[in-house]
Amino acid sequence: MKIVIVGCGRVGSTLAENFDADGHDVIIFDIRTAAFDRLPETFKGTAIRGDGTDLEVLRRSGADGADIFLALTEGDNRNIMAAQVATETMTIPQVIAKINDPVRATAYAELGVVTLCRTNLMVDKVANYLGLSIQTGPGIDIPETPGREHPHPSAVSIESPATGGLGSSDGDAGPARFAQTNDADQVRAQRLGFRRTRG
Q: Domain boundaries in the chain? A: 2-150
pTM for the whole structure: 0.72
Give the list of residues 6+ apart from residue 111 with CB closer than 8 angstroms, or none. 143, 150, 151
As beta bridge partners, residue 27 has 4, 46
Give the list of residues 6+ apart from residue 41 with CB closer than 8 angstroms, or none. none
Q: Render pLDDT for 72-121 as a digit per residue (tens, 0 to 9).
A: 999 999 999 999 999 999 999 999 999 999 999 999 998 889 999 999 99
Mean pLDDT score, 144-160: 44
Query: What CATH homologous superfamily does 2-150 map to?
Result: NAD(P)-binding Rossmann-like Domain (3.40.50.720)
